[in-house]
Structure 1
């Protein structure tokens, strides 16, 4: 018969081990369906669910929170939240990244159907007012063009806050911008929510960008979490 004191010790040890094995990290991003979103009845978006499945291997749960993109970056950098979803390396170069991306974005230009303008490089943007979301890198378009034209609303109008994509679509319809930049699947999903096909005209690819879940530089084990995410993703999809 095991003495009561030893039995109590073993119970406490097992309980503390279970608690140590459980962990919840906060993952933030702005609404960017179908990649990440909190209003879908079955899932939180393909990136969130993919990361959740990979980290579950280590007993880690994800709590997904939506905040405007610029605030998401700042809060994760400061350690107020643990990780960000849908980021590129150029947007958050100081964060901890897994070895491989979770998906790829196709940042593209869209105009009204009546327009004929086509994007064929930065020179083709001359005379075109584009609408963008503040803080997005757009796979390098921010560094190459948006940053140098910041404040020049004859060339770039950058919106911030919540529900930015619908606002950009409305600005395009009203003629306040000539083209908007959006990820093609995100824009299609936006219109699908109201049971319609995307009525806007595709006007060219700006950039393709690798998308990641990246961890806060304020986390002591941020590098380990990124490695665990990469390992879990590789285990789920072992193909090279």
Structure 2
């Protein structure tokens, strides 16, 4: 008869036989990419959880405001921030994956305001609502002549724009269209996007550097995303969320 105690100890000590590692995921509410009211918490959350599950991890997902999400990652309260744009500053506390989605960042103005954007200097006369802590674009983020007004989320930015407290708001194009079709619908005919985008930003997961396996997690995640793209499950996920190319 086998030694049951020895077998049980082997089960506990062996990574291949024990439970998969749990990763604590965090995002800020950012529909249609992340939001607990959406199917599978939004398209970005859905893709990330699928990929990490394929990579052999268990996951637990929470949503908090952006600044709290970043602070929690720095403090080790979360393992993976799942909706991060790249910035050099964030490499000091996190390790980026390859981009798994892309965001088109555009300005919103009051309809008929006549603001022209070709270069950043064109924006110097205007107050621009931005979400505190977001990394939109290095040139935009560090231009000291721009009059940025920090807010906690896009809905507040849009309402400030409508009220004339700012002249522009900045956000991902799909996020703008999502909100203007729902809770901001009364403002839809009074706001409009400027034609030229500020930038196109890759969306990454960001794994805390203090995690002992941060490089392995991002490597396995990237491989899983590639496998999903190859077998069609990536495109099927986008289609399920109404975002198929």
Q: TM-score range by the shorter chain?
A: 0.7 to 0.9
Equivalent in the alignment of 1:192: 181
Counterparts of 2:204 and 2:212 in 1: how far apart (Å)? 19
**Per-residue displacement from partner, 1:33-71 (whole Å, max 9, x unpaired)?**
11111111x221211111111111233122221122122
* Contact kept in structure 2, 1:106 and 1:207, CA below 8 Å: yes
Match of 2:129, SS? strand
Equivalent in the alignment of 1:220: 212
**Per-residue displacement from partner, 1:3-53 (whole Å, max 9, x unpaired)?**
1x524543564466587332221111211111111111x221211111111
Match of 2:41, SS? coil
* Contact kept in structure 2, 1:28 and 1:85, CA below 8 Å: yes
Equivalent in the alignment of 1:96: 95
Counterparts of 2:222 and 2:3 in 1: how far apart (Å)? 40
In structure 2, relative to structure 1, the CA distance for the partners of 1:68 and 1:19 (3 Å cut) is farther
1:168 aligned onto 2:160: no
Equivalent in the alignment of 1:124: 122
Which residue, 130, 142, 151 being the options, matches 1:159?
151
Counterparts of 1:73 and 1:206 in 2: how far apart (Å)? 23
Give the structure-2-normalised TM-score: 0.82
Q: CA deviation at 1:222?
A: 0.7
Counterparts of 2:115 and 2:140 in 1: how far apart (Å)? 20
* Contact kept in structure 2, 1:21 and 1:59, CA below 8 Å: no
* Contact kept in structure 2, 1:73 and 1:92, CA below 8 Å: no
Which residue, 183, 189, 192 being the options, matches 1:201?
192
In structure 2, relative to structure 1, the CA distance for the partners of 1:142 and 1:78 (3 Å cut) is farther
Query: Of the two structures, which has the highest relative contact order with CA contacts closer than 8 Å and spacing of 6 or more?
Result: 1
Counterparts of 1:156 and 1:143 in 2: how far apart (Å)? 9
Equivalent in the alignment of 1:36: 34
Counterparts of 2:141 and 2:169 in 1: how far apart (Å)? 17
